[in-house]
Amino acid sequence: MQLRSKSRAASAKLVYIGGYGRSGSTLLEYLLAAHPEVVACGEIERHLRVFTRRRTCTCGEPARHCQVWGEFQHKSGRLEDLDHTQLSLQVLDHISRQYAVMVDSSKTAWGSTLMPFRLSKELGKDFLLVHLVRDPRAVAWSTLRTKRDQNWTRGGRPKRARKHLRQSSSGTRSLLTIAGWTVANLACEMFGFFHPDRYLRVRYEDLVRTPVKVLGRIFVRVALDPPTTLEPTATRTNRHQLYGNAMRFETLSPAELKEDAAWKTAMPLAYRRLVGSLCWPLCVRYDYEMPEAGRDQVIDPITPSTK
C-alpha cells in the first residue's frame, strides 16, 4: 500500500464521535449516513489493532474490494506505518472525491482521549467533535450483561445470537466502566472548553426520541441541508463500517427507534446506586435524574430480572 502525502488538497469535513462505548455511536453514525453526502467509516481506530481483508464491510463487499477500504490494504493483513491521525486523514482525503463529510466513530475512551485535539489541529474548522453521552447506569448495565454463545462469521457478520443473557456480578467491571465513562466524557468536555466552535454534545436518549431534531443540529454544524428522509434506501452505498456494533448490518427505521432502558428494571439496585453515586457530577451536568433511594425499585442483586 502506498501512503498518501499528509497534506490535504480536499476540503471534506470530519465528524468525530466522542464519548464512551455502548452509548449509541453506531446508531448515530447509521442515521447520519441518511445524507447522501455523508460517508460512515465506523471505528477507524480499530483498523490499527486488527485488520483482515476478508472482513465484510457494511457496503456488502469484502474489505479488499470495498471502494473505501480496498485502497488501504497490505499483504500482511495489517495497516503498517500509520497511526490513528494519519489513517483518518488519508481516508478523509480518499473519500473527499465523492463525499462532503466523513464520520469516524472511534470515540474517546482509553488510548483515544486526545484524538479530537490531534485531528482538530490538522483540520481546523473542517473538524467537528460530536460528544455522545448516555446515562452511565445504562452503559454499565450494558457491559455487565453478555450474550451467551454468540457466534460470528470470519467476515465479521453476526451468525447466531441466543436471547438468554448471563449476568455478571463483578463490581470490578462496574468500576472499570465508571472510570472509562468518566475519562472519555471529560476528554470531550476539555476539548469543548478549548474549541467550543468545533464541539456539539448529543444525548443518546434524545437521539432515539427525536432523531430528526438531533441530526438537524449536526447537519447545520457541517453546512449540510438535512436530507428529505432518514428512512434507509436500498440504493444507499455510503456506509463503510468494518467495525462497530452488530446493528450496523441491520435496516433501521427512525420511526421504530426505542430507547434501551432495560437497566431501569433489570440492573441490580446496588450497582445502580454505585454507578450513580460515583458519576453524579456529570449526571447532573447531562440532566440525568438521580432518583431518591426510596423511589428505586428493590431488585435482588444476586438474581436480577432479565427482562
Residue 303 lies in a domain: no
Residue from 79, 15, 90 nearest 47 by CA: 79
pLDDT in tens, 175-225: 899 999 999 999 999 999 999 999 999 999 999 999 999 999 999 999 999
pLDDT in tens, 72-117: 866 555 666 788 999 999 999 999 999 999 999 999 998 899 999 9
What would the mean pLDDT of 232-257 be, rounded to a whole number?
A: 80
Residue 280 lies in a domain: no
| CATH number for position 178 | 3.40.50.300
Stated pTM of the model = 0.84
> Percent of the chain having pLDDT more than 90?
55
Domain of 244 in residue numbering reads as: 13-139+171-258
Residue 276 lies in a domain: no
Residue 39 lies in a domain: yes
Total structural domains within the chain? 1
What would the mean pLDDT of 276-299 be, rounded to a whole number?
A: 77
Residue 199 lies in a domain: yes
pLDDT in tens, 256-272: 899 999 999 999 888 89
Residue 155 lies in a domain: no
Higher pLDDT, 8 or 44: 44
Residue 17 lies in a domain: yes
Is residue 38 a contact partner of residue 100, using CB atoms and an 8 Å limit? yes
Residue 288 lies in a domain: no
Mean pLDDT of the chain: 83
Helices 115-123 and 84-95 cross at an angle (nearest 10°) of: 40
